[in-house]
Structure 1
């Protein structure tokens, strides 16, 4: 059996790739390190966005594990344009997995990136891994395993958030572990 812990990054100061964690976000990163302190994590993969890396940095230091950066874990680009009503546009992409806004990627395209990472981790020697990513991409992965996971569930995600994906043979189960602080 393999276990992958899926983490949405801690509270950040914004959306750009270089956005830093807030003071609360840095405290949350320390809480994550404590949360995982008794687990036997042997691999950590992260989006290269600063807020994702910083969310897991205290844990990686505590475990003596190097964080592997994977661009496939970057947040999804909804559109290259500034959308006046981006929330409505995002909702539409949950309803239509193939909807692709100008300069963006469809939900199906984005999901394929993170699903590929998970499949590679499942085939690796690692037994207990962590994947750190972003809310929209995480929700698309969760939807891959539970088609009922949609826009409303995305809105209820927290920063941070933690899900446990267990793989046993051909069976995959996903359980939410993090309770909003």
Structure 2
């Protein structure tokens, strides 16, 4: 059986805290996401509990008449709980040193395993077309798990929103970016 998992990075938001809402532009992007998924089959929606993720997919949920399942494991990775002036440099390094763990943070490997567990669970479900709504760094780490070449530069190239389609058939997986910047 073929299963499709759509990885969705949230729309533009007013910051990084969990309660940060979408910007006006982000609200328009959420409408574009709803239009994008209008003709696609969707059986299940699983989202980060952060406001920006849920708000990004609310219109799709309403259109498809599906509940949004919240999953704490889809929240953004915390690089560090300290204010690091060199955070970008550390983030880049964390794509090559998967065990790097700045103070109070989560290593890339830990975050990768966390989101991979969500994917494994949805693949075991009856659903065939699943939307996973999360955050740039976490989604990048999942893609890196499947493709070692997906790194810091790939993370930098992500847009808000962004959509990747993962197609699972038997033991094989392929992925492609399907969102078109407008």
TM range (shorter): over 0.9
> Which ranges in structure 2 are unaligned for 5 or more consecutive residues?
none
TM-score by length of 2: 0.98
Partner of 2:172: 171
Partner of 2:104: 103
Find the aligned partners of 2:80 and 2:134 in 1 and give their Cα distance.
19
Question: How far off is 1:171 after superposition?
Answer: 0.1
Asked if 1:152 corresponds to 2:144, the answer is: no
TM-score by length of 1: 0.99
Partner of 2:54: 53
Asked if 1:90 corresponds to 2:88, the answer is: no
Q: Pairwise mapping of residues 37-52 of structure 1 onto structure 2 (< 5 A)?
A: 37-52=38-53
Secondary structure of the 1:95 match is: coil
> Which ranges in structure 1 are unaligned for 5 or more consecutive residues?
none
Regions of 4+ moved over 2 Å:
none
Find the aligned partners of 1:54 and 1:91 in 2 and give their Cα distance.
28
Find the aligned partners of 1:180 and 1:76 in 2 and give their Cα distance.
25
Secondary structure of the 2:133 match is: strand
Question: How far off is 1:138 after superposition?
Answer: 0.3
Partner of 1:72: 73
Secondary structure of the 1:6 match is: strand
Partner of 1:129: 130
Partner of 1:29: 30
Question: How far off is 1:110 after superposition?
Answer: 0.3
Find the aligned partners of 1:48 and 1:7 in 2 and give their Cα distance.
14
Secondary structure of the 1:82 match is: coil
Question: Alignment length, in residue pairs?
Answer: 181
Partner of 1:17: 18
Secondary structure of the 2:140 match is: helix
Question: How far off is 1:168 after superposition?
Answer: 0.1
Secondary structure of the 1:31 match is: helix
Question: How far off is 1:99 after superposition?
Answer: 0.5
Write out per-residue CA displacement over residues 10-61 of structure 1, whole angstroms, 9 at most, x where no aligned residue: 0000000000000000000000000000111010000000000000001101
Find the aligned partners of 2:43 and 2:36 in 1 and give their Cα distance.
15
